[in-house]
Amino acid sequence: MPATPDFLDTNRPNVPDIVVPRGVTPFHLPSRPVRGRLIRLGALAHALLGRHNNEEVVTKLAGEALALAAGLSSALKYRGSFSLQAKGDGPVSMLLADCTQEGALRGYARADADRLAPVLADNPAPSAASLLGQGYLAFTVDQGGEMDRYQGIVSLEGESLRDMALHYFRTSEQLQYDLHLAAAHTPDGWRAGALILERVAGEGGIDPEMDSAAQDEAWHTAKTLAATLTTAELLDDALRPEQLIWRLFGAEGVAVDRPRALAYGCRCSRAKLTGILESFPEDDLDEMAVDGDIVMTCEFCKHDFRFARADVHSQAGAQGQGS
């Protein structure tokens, strides 16, 4: 069966028409070795997180992952996608968020309710380390097509997702970053945001008279100013990104760059899932059917796709008979 483009797939679930024009606001400190990005998901956070029936602590972790993935994806210089994946042996076995170069964002957290309950009974606000357990954190850049995919993997180290990401940058990329992540349920619904600072390597954009010690001091000053950021400020829809950036770094002569939009980015479709089903042997399809139907649920948006077993025919089985 030929694949149907998403926009022609009439059986595709309704996609929320949510775009955050200033989802990612880049900035830099002129003549200093510092650049950054402010990420504000706004109502998009609720649209993405509200579809999952998770405990609040799990939803908070997923919101932080979405904000971080959105910010890191904005560094892509080509068409493709960036994904963050944390997989561990804790009650949250999978944390995944990805964002395309165009700003299409999606993600989810997979939690085991039975394993999570005793953790919450012991501590109502467990750390990311307690939720994820032992495992790995992977950052992946996928350019699509025949281009090579780049992936960096490190062990889960640290108590928070922030700590884990900083460990990745120190050990895998050997880059100096500073991160601030936040997600919370507000009177307007779920909100999530991030502030990402990066120390610029080399001499580009740096005052030629600034020696190594002065560059170290400038980086320390930027991190100190960033540490004054509060969760309330980061998640406040009424506080424009430019205002918040100037509030934090105005004394350093900050320059705000062109913002980037973020949008609801689940890319599931009935056509794609039909192709997946047709790759299974007939016996497997029979086992998947319940009362004559096969139900597949998108983990990103939780939409159920129902297929009549009688309408699904295995291409794998036909190829096996012809060989």
The verdict on residue 102 lying in a domain is yes
Q: What is the DSSP track for 111-138? A: E-HHHHHHHHHH-SS--HHHHH-SEEEE
Q: Is the dihedral of CA 94, 100, 101, 102 positive or negative?
A: negative
**Do residues 189 and 302 both lie within one domain?**
no
- 192 or 299, which is more confident: 192
In a domain, 302, yes or no: yes
- Inform me whether the pLDDT recorded for 207 exceeds 80: no
**Residues 18-64: pLDDT tens digits?**
899 999 999 999 989 999 999 999 999 999 999 888 999 999 999 99
| CATH number of the domain bearing residue 306 | 3.90.1280.10
Q: Supply the pLDDT for residue 9.
A: 52
The share of the chain scoring above pLDDT 90, in percent, equals 61
Q: Is residue 4 part of a domain?
A: no
pLDDT at residue 204 tops 60: no
> Which of 125-129, 286-290, 300-304, 318-322 is the most confident on average?
125-129
Band (pLDDT 50/70/90 cuts) for residue 180 is very high
Statement: residue 268 has pLDDT above 50: yes
- Whichever domain contains 177, its CATH number is 3.55.30.10
**Claim to verify: residue 230 and residue 293 sit in the same structural domain:** no
Q: Is 147 helix (H, G, I), strand (E, B) or coil?
A: coil
Are residues 278 and 230 both part of a single domain?
A: no
For residue 3, being part of any structural domain is answered with no
CA dist 197 → 19, 29, 107, 200 (Å): 24, 11, 23, 9
Average pLDDT across the chain, whole number: 88
- What residues contact 207, with CB distance under 8 A and at least 6 apart? 31, 32
Q: Does residue 246 contact residue 254 with C-beta atoms inside 8 Å?
A: yes
- The pLDDT of residue 142: 86
**CA torsion, ordered 139, 144, 146, 149, to nearest 10 deg:** 0
Q: What is the mean pLDDT of residues 308-318?
A: 73
Number of domains forming the structure of the chain = 2
Same domain? 161 vs 103: yes
Between 306 and 258, the more confident residue is 258
Q: Is residue 9 part of a domain?
A: no
What is the predicted pLDDT for the residue at 266? 81
When pLDDT is averaged across residues 205-211 and rounded to a whole number, the result is 70
Q: Classify 251 in phi/psi space as left (phi over 0), alpha (psi -120 to 50) or beta.
A: alpha
Let me know whether 238 and 301 are in one domain.
Answer: no
Residue 210: predicted pLDDT: 78
Tell me, what's the pLDDT at 322? Answer: 47
Residues 145 and 290 placed together within one structural domain of the fold: no
Task: Give this prediction's pTM.
Answer: 0.86
303: exposed, middle or buried (Cβ count in 10 Å: 0-12, 13-18, 19+): middle
Cβ(8)–Cβ(269) under 8 Å? Answer: no
Residue 299: its pLDDT value, please? 81
Confirm whether 5 is domain-assigned: no
